[in-house]
């Protein structure tokens, strides 16, 4: 590793109206290293990266790239100097091919003005094989798995000549297998001399991948450590300022009456094929049923049908003995069903609403938040203040727009809202996506507390450890069906992983067509 600094950020300060996001932050990244940034939600990680990439001008401080001061604070300036950002919300055009997406905006030209398709394909193929990305330049984006889409984003950045790659929480949406593959790619990039900065909340990943780690806390740098010389516990302590329970313990479930009963449920997708086929499920009061599976195998649709957001084509759903098949989301909610949606920005929040307004979303029409058609602003505010306090949402100001919260705090806001009010059934999709370790601990203990108080919980997560720690039973979805069911605590990660891919191979996306009969040999306990 050379001693040259690829990035030197000196005394960066960035003030938002209600938060000091970066307070005299110094960040040194050496050329050719993988540098991780960790810290609690709202610590200022995304902000410092936005400053580096030129998305937001700092209020003070300077940025040096390879020892030279960066002139200008726009993405164009940063890109010119070799900085690239792999976006978290992928910005790809679904109907174009991989190659077309990669060159979009900087297309190779033949003659005076003709798009050189052959050259783009060639360039993508070359970059792809150089770093082991295995991308087919001619494949349409809409046919790719999330993991592959992310690789397209990486190639896009490389194509534009990035020598420094920024990845803000790249692993949040990936399966464990995809994460491993991403790490292989990132190491290859480093070994080829590129510099990588990545943000994550998963400390195992940090220790496995990073060379050095900058820990942030409350907008400041709390420490810089070498990955070889630290442990998960130490990192957590620097981040949070106290010891963190890295694993929650749970009691034996005390099962009650069935709350959610799903029988022979099917649903049809846009293209007329079955996205759900004959699903049978039961979740009892006092029980956590985990649903494991590679994204895109019907979990989203299952949740949507249960919560009234999508129509079933056959079968039935009952909640606490009442038929709810194809009822409206409000009717389902009013039976005591809470729902943490998988995509917080698309469904879970109105970004232009304040925290207070968002914290009553879904219950705004009920007492005490409104009566006789009028909002009770006082009650809405008190409610917000209480949840902000209980769930440690930051900033502690009910009047801040949800769009101005850090990613993890947006997620925590939704969790706070849906946990509140004692639901009979909680449907939780990726409940801890993007939240820090302290908050994960809190979410997990609260979830188990809810279970012990008699709630039925349907947990959908791409995070196998999360599924395995919390679930009393685990169902595996593949190709729109439940292909296996296990007792919680009696199954290993390997076994689950195999069931999740239908035995077809690590990165396959499950077929969702009606004739695709996925690997039923793993159907140990499917009902």
Partner 1 sequence: MNRFARLSQLLSPLVAVAAAFLVGGLVVTAIGENPFRIYAILFRGAFGSIDAIGLVLFNAVPLIFAGLAVAFAFRAGLFNIGGEGQLYVGAFVCTLAGLALGGLPAVLLIPLLILASAAGGAVWAAVPGLLKARFGVHEVINTIMMNFIAVGLTSYFIINMLREPGQMTPQTSEIALAGHLPRLAGPLSRIGIPLPQANPLNFSLVLALAAVWLAWYILYRTNLGYEIRAVGMNSQAAEYAGINVRRTIVLAMLLSGAFAGLVATNEVMGFRHRFLDNFSSGLGFMGIAVALLGKNTPLGVLLAALLFGVLNTGALEVDIFTDVPRELILVLQAITIILVVVGNEVFARRAAAREGRAAGVPLPATEPSREA
Binding segment toward Mg ion, per CB under 5 A, in 140-148, 358-366, 404-412, 481-489:
404-412
Cα distance between residue 426 and residue 182, in whole Å:
32
Binding mask 41-70 for Mg ion (x = CB under 5 A): -----x------------------------
Helix (H, G, I), strand (E, B) or coil at 251: coil
SS3 of 131-157: CCCCCCCCCEHHHCCHHHHHHHHHHHH
Q: Taking CB under 8 A as the rule, does residue 309 contact partner 1?
A: yes
Closer residue to ligand ATP (CB): 358 or 406: 406
Q: Taking CB under 8 A as the rule, does residue 401 contact partner 1?
A: yes
Question: What contacts 157, CB < 8 A, 6 or more positions away?
Answer: 84, 85, 86, 165
405 binds, among ligand ATP, Mg ion, partner 1, none (CB under 5 to 8 A by kind): ligand ATP
Closer residue to partner 1 (CB): 23 or 116: 23
Q: Taking CB under 8 A as the rule, does residue 347 contact partner 1?
A: yes
97 binds, among Mg ion, ligand ATP, partner 1, none (CB under 5 to 8 A by kind): none
Q: Taking CB under 8 A as the rule, does residue 346 contact partner 1?
A: yes
Q: CB of residue 2 vs partner 1: minimum separation in angstroms? A: 31
Q: Smallest Cα–Cα separation from 508: which of 479, 481, 468?
A: 479
Dihedral angle sign, alpha carbons of residues 140, 145, 148, 149: positive
Q: CB of residue 329 vs partner 1: minimum separation in angstroms? A: 5
Q: CB of residue 162 vs Mg ion: minimum separation in angstroms? A: 20
CB atoms within 10 A of CB 115: 13
Q: CB of residue 482 vs Mg ion: minimum separation in angstroms? A: 34
Q: Taking CB under 8 A as the rule, does residue 339 contact partner 1?
A: yes
Q: Smallest Cα–Cα separation from 202: which of 173, 159, 162?
A: 173
Closer residue to Mg ion (CB): 32 or 172: 172
Q: Which of 2, 11, 57, 255 binds partner 1 (CB under 8 A)?
A: 57
Q: Which of 192, 246, 351, 517 binds partner 1 (CB under 8 A)?
A: 351
Question: What contacts 268, CB < 8 A, 6 or more positions away?
Answer: 274, 275, 313
Q: CB of residue 273 vs partner 1: minimum separation in angstroms? A: 23
Closer residue to partner 1 (CB): 238 or 332: 332
Cα distance between residue 228 and residue 475, in whole Å:
38
SS3 of 33-70: CEEEEEECCCCCHHHHHHHHHCCCCCCEEEEEECCEEC
Q: Taking CB under 5 A as the rule, does residue 469 contact Mg ion?
A: no
Q: Taking CB under 8 A as the rule, does residue 90 contact partner 1?
A: no
Residues forming beta bridges with residue 485, ordered by sequence position = 475
Q: Which of 330, 449, 521, 527 binds partner 1 (CB under 8 A)?
A: 330
Binding segment toward partner 1, per CB under 8 A, in 5-13, 182-190, 347-355, 512-520:
347-355
Q: How many CA atoms lie within 13 A of 98 on its CB side?
A: 25
Calculate the dihedral angle through the C-alpha atoms of 364, 366, 371, 376, rounding to the nearest 10 degrees.
-40
CB 190 within 8 A of CB 32: yes
Give one word for 264, left, alpha or beta, with left for phi > 0 and alpha for psi -120 to 50. Answer: left
480 binds, among Mg ion, partner 1, ligand ATP, none (CB under 5 to 8 A by kind): none
Q: Taking CB under 5 A as the rule, does residue 172 contact Mg ion?
A: no
Distance of CA 64 to the CA centre of its chain: 31
Q: CB of residue 29 vs ligand ATP: minimum separation in angstroms? A: 17
Q: CB of residue 50 vs partner 1: minimum separation in angstroms? A: 5
Residues forming beta bridges with residue 339, ordered by sequence position = 427
Question: What contacts 441, CB < 8 A, 6 or more positions away?
Answer: 244, 245, 246, 248
Binding segment toward partner 1, per CB under 8 A, in 14-22, 208-216, 217-225, 451-459:
14-22
CB 350 within 8 A of CB 357: yes
Q: CB of residue 462 vs ligand ATP: minimum separation in angstroms? A: 18
Helix (H, G, I), strand (E, B) or coil at 394: coil
Binding mask 361-400 for partner 1 (x = CB under 8 A): xx-xx----x--xxx-x-----------------------
Between helices 176-191 and 493-500, what is the axis angle to 10°? 100
Q: Taking CB under 8 A as the rule, does residue 329 contact partner 1?
A: yes
Q: CB of residue 89 vs Mg ion: minimum separation in angstroms? A: 12
Positions that interact with ligand ATP (CB under 6 A): 16, 19, 21, 39, 41-47, 394-395, 404-409, 436
Q: Taking CB under 8 A as the rule, does residue 217 contact partner 1?
A: no
CB atoms within 10 A of CB 231: 11
Phi, psi of 225 (to 5 degrees): -130, 160
Cα distance between residue 342 and residue 464, in whole Å:
16
Binding mask 125-144 for Mg ion (x = CB under 5 A): --------------------
- Which residues of this protein are in contact with partner 1, per CB under 8 A? 14, 16-17, 47, 50-51, 55-57, 307, 309, 328-330, 332-334, 339, 341, 346-354, 357, 361-362, 364-365, 370, 373-375, 377, 401, 403-404
């Amino acid at each position: 590793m050379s001693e040259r600094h690829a990035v030197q950020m000196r005394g960066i300060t960035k003030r938002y109206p209600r938060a000091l996001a970066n307070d005299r932050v110094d960040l040194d990244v050496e050329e050719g290293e993988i540098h991780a940034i960790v810290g609690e939600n709202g610590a200022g990680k995304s902000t410092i990266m936005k400053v580096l990439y030129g998305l937001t001008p700092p209020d003070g401080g300077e940025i040096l790239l390879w020892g030279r001061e960066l002139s200008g604070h726009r993405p164009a300036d940063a890109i010119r100097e070799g900085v690239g950002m792999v976006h978290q919300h992928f910005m790809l055009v679904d109907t174009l091919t991989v190659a077309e997406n990669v060159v979009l905006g900087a297309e190779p030209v033949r003659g005076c003005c003709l798009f050189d398709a052959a050259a783009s394909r060639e360039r993508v193929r070359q970059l792809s094989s150089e770093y082991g990305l295995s991308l087919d330049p001619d494949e349409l984006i809409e046919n790719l798995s999330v993991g592959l889409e992310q690789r397209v984003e990486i190639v896009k950045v490389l194509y534009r000549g990035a020598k420094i790659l920024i990845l803000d929480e790249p692993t949040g949406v990936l399966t464990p297998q995809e994460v491993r593959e991403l790490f292989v790619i990132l190491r290859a990039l480093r070994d080829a001399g590129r510099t990588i900065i990545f943000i994550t909340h998963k400390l195992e990943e940090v220790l496995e991948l990073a060379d050095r780690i900058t820990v942030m806390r409350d907008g400041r740098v709390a420490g810089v450590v070498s990955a070889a010389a630290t442990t998960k516990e130490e990192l957590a302590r620097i981040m949070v300022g106290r010891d963190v329970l890295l694993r929650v313990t749970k009691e034996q479930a005390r099962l009650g009456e069935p709350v959610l009963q799903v029988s022979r449920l099917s649903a049809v997708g846009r293209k007329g094929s079955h996205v759900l086929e004959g699903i049978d499920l039961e979740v009892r009061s006092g029980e956590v049923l985990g649903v494991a599976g590679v994204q895109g195998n019907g979990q989203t649709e299952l949740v949507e049908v249960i919560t009234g957001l999508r129509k079933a084509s056959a079968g039935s759903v009952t909640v606490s003995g009442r038929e709810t098949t194809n009822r409206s989301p409000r009717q389902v909610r009013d039976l005591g069903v809470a729902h943490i949606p998988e995509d917080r920005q698309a469904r879970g929040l109105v970004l232009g609403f304040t925290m207070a307004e968002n914290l009553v979303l879904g219950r705004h029409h009920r007492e005490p938040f409104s009566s006789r058609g009028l909002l009770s602003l006082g009650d809405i505010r008190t409610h917000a203040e209480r949840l902000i306090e209980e769930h440690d949402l930051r900033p502690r100001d009910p009047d801040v727009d949800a769009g101005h919260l850090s990613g993890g705090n947006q997620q925590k806001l939704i969790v706070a809202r849906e946990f509140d009010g004692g639901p009979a059934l909680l449907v939780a999709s990726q409940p801890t996506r993007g939240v820090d370790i302290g908050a994960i601990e809190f979410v997990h203990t609260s979830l188990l507390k809810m279970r012990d108080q008699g709630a039925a919980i349907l947990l959908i997560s791409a995070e196998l450890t999360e599924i395995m720690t919390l679930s009393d039973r685990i169902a595996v979805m593949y190709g729109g069906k439940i292909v296996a069911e296990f007792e919680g605590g009696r199954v290993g990660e390997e076994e689950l992983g195999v069931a999740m891919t239908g035995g077809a191979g690590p990165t396959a996306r499950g077929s969702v067509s009606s004739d695709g009969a996925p690997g039923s040999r793993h159907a140990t306990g499917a009902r």
